[in-house]
Chains A and B, each alone.
Chain A
Amino acid sequence: MGRFSDKDVLLDIEDLRIEGYSDETWVPIIKGVDLKLHRGEVMGLIGESGAGKSTIGAAAMGYARDGTRISGGSIEFDGMELTTASEGERRALRGSRIAYVAQSAAASFNPAHKIIDQHTEAPVHYRIKKRMEAQEDAKELYERLRLPNPQEIGFRYPHQVSGGQLQRAMTAMAMSCRPDLIIFDEPTTALDVTTQIEVLAAIRDIVDQFNTAAIYITHDLAVVAQMADTIKVLLKGEEVEQASTDRMLSDPQEDYTKSLWAVRSFKRPQKARPTDGTKPIISVRGVDASYTGGDKVLDDVSFDIYPGMTVAVVGESGSGKSTTARVITGLLPPSKGDVLLNGEPLPPKYTNRTRDQLRQAQMIYQMADTALNPKVRIREIIGRPAQFYSGLKGPALKQRVDELLDLIELEPSKYYNRYPPELSGGQKQRIGIARALAAEPDFIICDEVTSALDQLVAEGILKLLDRLQRELNLAYMFITHDLATVRSIADEVVVMQNGRVVEQGPKDQMFTPPHHPYTDLLLSSVPEMDPNWLTTLLEERGVDNIGEAGSETKDGSEKTQSA
């Protein structure tokens, strides 16, 4: 931390305490956290969900979300005490001197206004610039953030721009008043690896150029290693430790930090295809599919999944991974080709399949929030498939539900009568798994099951899935864009791009060169814990060929391939 002297302290939070209102009492959320941020310093806040990262981020703007209150401590921003300042004074800071970049740019932009109009709103409001000046400035920022076509892109509406571009436009917007402090709240969590790099590089550049201080909130350690000068680890509203990035990575002091670092060490032995002539449990043969009237989303997709094996299907969003799952489950009948279950062709539409065919292929969803009915008790969510397929009733059904809850490592008596909203994200995902298991399937489609979860929780889910596979001889089709997950759990890998299978084979073969260029792009885009990873990568690829910009256009992808 030698770079920063005590004179340059921009934000000084001392013994911050925040309480949240629940069940008619005030419960402490943040239990006394200190934070000192200098001008030009980037601090990474990491921790699992519920650690209070975002709450601290909001508090740095003097803001307490609905249902929370700042109950103690002091927040001093550039000599101004925010906890006692009036609402008007605090509001004058936000947007002009402190800016905020939210996780989902798509949800944070107003879809009814052009991007540049939203960009110029703050400078015009604070009378820093005239509208025309602000527009010129916006175009310059877009150029610096390497948005394609910077002169014109601002005049589009948010839905006409891709997710990664929107996130960069939002960063530009945060920069519009040249704030002293920007708070980034998981800005890349919702993006693909290839897009993520681009946004990371843009954010890092612009923060450097304007010497802006930043608080970077994330649960992805590899990302924070690229961005931050210092890292602060949080757990349940308390600070675990803080150190400079290099020291934190090479020599973490606390056990909790070490456990965070050790995550993803989980790896199970790879299995090979059975050689005794066993039929594949699911076989996708030359499938073409399209949504009504649209272009082909899948183009001649073929792969096999053998009993007891895990096949990972990877690719960025829009590559057709989830559509393939929809074809297998029968939600989207293919326009050509067919799906075989144990060698028997399945009817293309799920409504024409028999109950037994439906039972054998189950699905676990990405968003456990929308996958479980919030108004139905756990016992019915899990019990219903058992009742529906096996006709269990009364005590036998209860016993089966208890058995399933045991299987997913949740205490039956405690969870039997609960509703999904009362559970944490990881627990909900476990319930989702139990519901799939209740049907006693042979094959389960796991659609991005860990991408909405924290790393520690995600690892727990992966271990559980692995154990279940061994005990019940399940076959998994594992849809993901996270290659670390693939590395830990897959036996075979299918790489998809633009609705085609570009490469497939056993995992170890896929992870050793030579790769298909697209596989290579995916692989090299996964952030690593090395703090210099991004710098090195950018040098290798060249500034203009990173990520989305590289793979978006046809000639662009060729450039990347040759790089």
Chain B
Amino acid sequence: MSVFVIGYYTILIAASCLAVYFERRRVFMLLFSLTLVSFVAGIIGGVGALRTITTLAAVLSLAAGVSYAFKEFLVQIARPGLARELRTAPLTAAFGMFVIFTYAIAGIFAPWIAPHGQAEVISTSFAPPDANMLLGADQLGRDIFSRIIYGARNTVGLALAATILAFVMGAFAGLLAAVKGGWFDQFMGRFADVIMSVPSLIFALLMLSIFGTNLFVIVVVVAVIYSPRVFRLTRAVAGNVVVMDYIEAAKLRGEGDWYLIRREILPNSTAPLVAEFGLEFCFVFLLIAGLSFLGLGIQPPTADWGSMVRENATLISFGDVTPLIPAAAIALLTVAVNFVVDWMLFRSSGLKG
């Protein structure tokens, strides 16, 4: 029995006892069941398994600590009204905001943060990590770490632009359809159905092969593919608002459609729209990464996470995890955005009272 194992069990059992003493039932159940699991894991896997558990717990608590500190930081700098909202945010949301914040910094300040240029060949192909290159080199000898930093700017920026465009188009059409009703509503609805009935990836491939693969075309095509979902949501949300008495009052006053949309309906539908924005952003992001992986998205030598996965895919057969890093970057951002969106959905659903 090494000192590590003895210390490991001592700390767990002592913490469990403390939790019971202070009547923290859930904490106790968590700690003590972890102790029991550790017994089994320790017998089967030896000290190594216990070390893995310790590392995982440390990473988790580090993430929780960072999230907590970041939340407090936001509460301190935010306006009083916003600060109160933020204080009720769960840790997962704070974690999501922290990750998004990190990505934003990486994307905005990419040229200053990245040690090398994104197209700069500085080494031999597939060179292993060294002091100069944190994560090694890719198939052409470019620094993978620098390319990931630049990828944050390119991929995320593109996804953001496409999502915003999809929202502007979809939300505007949805609001107008809700206010106008009648044949306009029907026409827009069926038009949206037509777009949605074509599988999105095939539709994108078709459009990109027709119009070529420049950035503008990608943004527009992706926005057109995703705007029908936004349209449907906006129309449904606005449909619930349009029947309210205050809309009737405004109509009877003789207000025009534009005033109704801007001043009466939009303020009452922002919460679900913002939540939907987060979700759609993830989908758009994945679609663009997918297009790049197929070679139709952002063109080389511009760094992009999707194509980086494809280009380095061969390394996986050698047991190297490098190609998984851009994939992990995509996954992390998606998870982070969803954490924040969950919180926003929770707020807009009115559950918090």
- Interface residues in chain A, defined as those with a beta carbon under 8 Å from any beta carbon in chain B: 23-24, 66-67, 329-331, 350, 353, 355, 358, 363, 365, 367, 370-376, 380, 384-385, 388-389, 435, 439
Contact = CB atoms under 8 A, between A and B. Distances in A.
B237 to A, nearest CB: 13
Chief secondary structure at chain B's binding surface: helix
Contacts of A355: 254
B24 interface: no
Contacts of B87: 24
A370 B264 CA distance: 12
A251 to B, nearest CB: 42
Given A371-B249, A388-B254, A439-B253, A376 B264 contact: yes
Contact of B245 (A66, A358, A367, A384): A367
Given A375-B268, A376-B263, A376-B264, A370 B246 contact: yes
A350 B254 CA distance: 8
Contact of B267 (A363, A365, A376, A388): A376
A453 to B, nearest CB: 16
Which among B244, B254, B264, B267 has the greatest number of chain A C-beta atoms within 10 A? B254
Contact of B252 (A23, A67, A358, A376): A358
B199 interface: no
Given A24-B84, A367-B245, A373 B253 contact: no
B255 interface: yes
Contact of A365 (B249, B251, B253, B268): B249
A358 B353 contact: no
Contacts of B251: 350
Contacts of B248: 331, 363
B57 to A, nearest CB: 31
Categorize the interface residue count of chain B: 10 to 19
B254 A363 contact: no
B269 to A, nearest CB: 10
Contact of B253 (A24, A330, A358, A370): A358
A372 B246 contact: yes
Contacts of A389: 253
Contacts of B254: 350, 353, 355, 358, 388
A373 B267 contact: yes
B251 to A, nearest CB: 7
Nearest to A374: B268
Given A66-B353, A363-B249, 8 more contacts: A367-B245, A370-B244, A370-B245, A371-B244, A373-B263, A373-B267, A373-B268, A385-B253
Contacts of B263: 373, 376, 380
7 contacts: A24-B87, A363-B248, A365-B249, A371-B249, A373-B267, A375-B267, A384-B253
Contacts of B246: 370-373
A24 B75 CA distance: 14
Contacts of B253: 358, 384-385, 388-389, 439
A33 B193 CA distance: 59
B85 to A, nearest CB: 11
A329 B251 CA distance: 11
Nearest to A372: B246
| 10 pairs of A and B residues whose beta carbons are closest in the complex | A375-B267, A371-B245, A373-B246, A365-B245, A370-B245, A358-B254, A370-B244, A67-B353, A355-B254, A375-B268
Contacts of A371: 244-246, 249
Given A350-B252, A358-B253, A388-B253, A373 B353 contact: no
Contacts of B252: 329-331, 350, 358, 363
A53 B249 CA distance: 34
Contacts of B268: 373-375
Contacts of A67: 353
A353 B87 CA distance: 51
B248 to A, nearest CB: 7
A272 to B, nearest CB: 31
A346 to B, nearest CB: 12
Interface in B52-100: 84, 87
A373 B244 CA distance: 9
Interface string B288-329: 000000000000000000000000000000000000000000
Contacts of A363: 248-249, 252
Contacts of A24: 84, 87
Contacts of A388: 253-255
Contacts of B267: 373, 375-376
Interface string B327-353: 000000000000000000000000001
A130 to B, nearest CB: 38
Interface in B241-299: 244-246, 248-249, 251-255, 263-264, 267-268
Nearest to B248: A331
A389 B353 CA distance: 38
A358 B256 CA distance: 14
B164 to A, nearest CB: 22
A373 B255 contact: no
Contacts of A372: 246
Nearest to A389: B253
A67 B88 CA distance: 13
A40 to B, nearest CB: 37
Contacts of A358: 252-254
A492 B115 CA distance: 86
A506 B70 CA distance: 71
Which among B245, B251, B263, B267 has the greatest number of chain A C-beta atoms within 10 A? B245
B147 to A, nearest CB: 45
A90 to B, nearest CB: 18
A162 B351 CA distance: 30
A134 to B, nearest CB: 34
A373 B84 contact: no
A385 B267 CA distance: 19
A358 B249 CA distance: 11
A350 B253 CA distance: 9
A36 B109 CA distance: 70
B300 to A, nearest CB: 47
A253 B84 CA distance: 45
Contacts of A380: 263
Nearest to B243: A370
A436 to B, nearest CB: 9
Contacts of A329: 252
Nearest to A364: B249
Nearest to A68: B353
A365 B353 CA distance: 25
B116 to A, nearest CB: 49
Interface in B205-258: 244-246, 248-249, 251-255
